[in-house]
């Protein structure tokens, strides 16, 4: 891929740019932020690691959207992160304004781009980008499920003392607090986790994954998680750039899938060169369907609060 822009040169954005460079997913990366000097300084610092990390991707920082022109892929990480005691929804209005203004600029300079949204509250910010851009729904993707499942997979692997490589998990629904883990589809080397762990332990691991973000916020106190979130955003970018058609849980615009309409919600999707190539539909039990509906309803309620 020729050019990837990362919007927001904070913790998630800078780590995302670094990971994209180290994986050499683009010829050029542009890091953009409203704060003068920060994207320039961080981009140069990352670029100076190129001879050691051996990548040929050029990285530059800017405060001017002209420099982002003709980006093929844009990762939006700008916005405020949570502080202790805040929910993701507390960020709703502040970050919606930020994501709206950014999306308008991206549309102006890169009308063909695929957008990956990271800013919280995730599902509603992804909706904001879709609505403001007017892009096709396959080109506006929210990152959440990959992170939520990564946390769940790690906790399962750690509990069983097995490789994370062999742990597969599936999470549907909105990001974090309202995520819907599908235990039936979570397995270790093909063996259902229900056969390997008692129900109470599984519930504990689910709860820890569900509040994985706040666990980090409570440690850091001044900001949120960014190493795992940036890895998750770059996994989406990697599948798109290389047209790998990986099946990963992402927030996608639903029009009837899973019985849900006009809402962003985490579901398994196939990611390829056009963004979301396909939404994978699973048969759900009545309980799972009800939990998913509840999660989607919460997102829809917040979407309605926005005046876009």
Known catalytic residue: 175? yes
Interface residue with ligand NAD among 1, 10, 20, 130 (CB under 6 A) is 10
Whole-angstrom Cα distance, residue 231 to residue 287?
A: 31
Whole-angstrom Cα distance, residue 269 to residue 122?
A: 17
If one asks whether residue 272 binds ligand NAD (CB under 6 A), the answer comes out as no
Span of 47-55, 76-84, 150-158, 268-276 interacting with ligand NAD by CB under 6 A: 76-84
Whole-angstrom Cα distance, residue 78 to residue 190?
A: 38
Rg (Cα) of the chain, in Å, rounded?
19
Residue 187, beta-bridge partner list:
168, 192
Whole-angstrom Cα distance, residue 99 to residue 82?
A: 16
- Pinpoint the alpha helices (H) of the chain: 11-22, 38-47, 50-53, 92-109, 122-133, 145-160, 199-210, 212-220, 227-241, 286-305
If one asks whether residue 92 binds ligand NAD (CB under 6 A), the answer comes out as no
- The three-point CA angle 222-298-202 to 5° equals 70
Interface residue with ligand NAD among 173, 174, 212, 224 (CB under 6 A) is 224
Interface residue with ligand NAD among 101, 194, 218, 262 (CB under 6 A) is 101
- The structure tokens listed for 18 are 């670094």
If one asks whether residue 8 binds ligand NAD (CB under 6 A), the answer comes out as yes
Site pattern 193..212 for ligand NAD (x: CB under 6 A): --------------------
If one asks whether residue 150 binds ligand NAD (CB under 6 A), the answer comes out as no
First to last CA, the chain: 32
If one asks whether residue 79 binds ligand NAD (CB under 6 A), the answer comes out as yes
Interface residue with ligand NAD among 95, 103, 149, 186 (CB under 6 A) is 95
Helix (H, G, I), strand (E, B) or coil at 143: coil
If one asks whether residue 288 binds ligand NAD (CB under 6 A), the answer comes out as no
If one asks whether residue 11 binds ligand NAD (CB under 6 A), the answer comes out as yes
If one asks whether residue 119 binds ligand NAD (CB under 6 A), the answer comes out as yes
Catalytic residues: 175
Where does this chain bind ligand NAD (CB under 6 A)? 7-13, 33-35, 77-82, 91, 95, 98, 101-102, 118-120, 122, 143-144, 147, 175, 223-226, 229
């Amino acid at each position: 891929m020729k050019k990837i822009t990362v919007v927001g040169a904070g913790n998630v954005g800078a780590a995302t740019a670094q990971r994209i460079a180290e994986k050499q997913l683009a010829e050029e990366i542009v890091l953009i932020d409203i704060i003068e000097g920060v994207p320039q300084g961080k981009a140069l610092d990352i670029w100076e690691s190129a001879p050691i990390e051996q990548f040929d991707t050029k990285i530059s920082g800017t405060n001017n959207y002209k420099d982002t022109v003709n980006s093929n892929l844009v990762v939006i990480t700008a916005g405020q992160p949570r502080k202790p005691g805040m929910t993701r929804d507390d960020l709703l209005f502040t970050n919606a304004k930020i994501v709206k203004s950014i999306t308008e600029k991206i549309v102006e300079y890169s009308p063909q781009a695929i957008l990956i949204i990271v800013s919280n509250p995730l599902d509603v910010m992804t909706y904001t980008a879709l609505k403001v851009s007017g892009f096709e729904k396959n080109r506006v993707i929210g990152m959440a499920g990959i992170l939520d499942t990564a946390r769940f997979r790690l906790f399962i692997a750690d509990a069983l003392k097995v490789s994370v490589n062999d742990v597969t998990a599936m999470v549907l629904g909105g990001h974090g607090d309202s995520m819907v883990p599908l235990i039936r589809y979570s397995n270790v080397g093909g063996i259902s986790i229900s056969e390997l762990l008692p129900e109470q332990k599984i519930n504990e691991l689910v709860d820890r994954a569900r509040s994985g973000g706040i666990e980090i916020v409570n440690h850091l106190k001044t900001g949120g998680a960014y190493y795992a979130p940036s890895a998750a955003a770059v996994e989406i970018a990697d599948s798109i750039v290389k047209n790998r058609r990986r099946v990963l849980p992402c927030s996608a615009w639903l029009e009837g899938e899973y019985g849900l309409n006009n809402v962003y919600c985490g579901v398994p999707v196939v990611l390829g060169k056009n963004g979301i190539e396909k939404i994978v539909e699973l048969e759900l039990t009545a309980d799972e369907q009800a939990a998913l509906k509840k999660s989607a309803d919460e997102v829809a309620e917040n979407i309605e609060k926005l005046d876009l």
